Amino acid sequence: MLAGKREAMPPIRVYHSFRSPYSRLGLHILAREGLEVELAPFTGPPDGVAFNDPVANPLKLSYYMQDAPRMTLRMGLPISPPQPFDVDLAPSYKAAVAAALAGKGLAYALEVSDARWGKGKDISDMSVLEICAEKAGWDKSAVSSAQDDPSVAAEMKRHCNLIAEDGVFGVPFAVMGSKKYWGHDRFGLLVEDANKEA
């Protein structure tokens, strides 16, 4: 490397899930800090890796129900647990990928996360996703066209491969070069490291 010349900052990839209130907090940190990132929905762990669902463990669920609201309120955000809790997230993920391809990824992901965790909305409802698209400044008709779009399917397949390559086991999860950050409470460190690299 030439004296005084720095290498380019490595890209930042962030895995998120609309199922997780902590993922929502991580997205808000990214937006507040203005970090440019590649968003990838976490659709599940790599093959052969077990997923430890926090709501399947009563003790962890009890903690989760105490901690998620306090961390959300600490960030100055409203919280309203979604009803129903377990819904089909596939349509929201497909729309999120299409939004990212259209340059509206973070704005759309924030709107969907806020609809689910800030307003308790059912994000398996296409009309809810369309409202989120409009609020994010994205064409609401793209939500339905994303559901069968081959470019969205190809991008989601690429994300599945990256989940395995990056060793993602939960969300939110960020990767910057060789550095990894799990949990929204590590995103402050991600911001610090990104600022050093910039």
**Whole-structure pTM value:** 0.92
Tokens of 146: 């994303």
The confidence score (pLDDT) of residue 6 equals 47
Q: What total number of domains does the chain contain?
A: 1
Mean pLDDT of 134-154: 97
Residues, the chain: 198
17: containing domain: 12-197
In a domain, 97, yes or no: yes
Mean pLDDT of 178-195: 95
Q: How far apart are the first and last CA of the chain?
A: 16
Residue 119 confidence (pLDDT) above 90: yes
- Kindly report the average pLDDT of the chain as a whole number: 92
Contact 113, 23 (CB under 8 A): yes
The CATH number linked to 135 is 3.40.30.10
Q: Which residue has the higher pLDDT, 186 or 52?
A: 186
Q: DSSP of 32-74, one letter per residue? A: HHT---EEEE---PPTT-----GGGSHHHHHHHHHHHHHHHHH
Residue 2 confidence (pLDDT) above 50: no
The confidence score (pLDDT) of residue 5 equals 45
Q: Which residue has the higher pLDDT, 3 or 185?
A: 185
d(CA 143, CA 91): 8
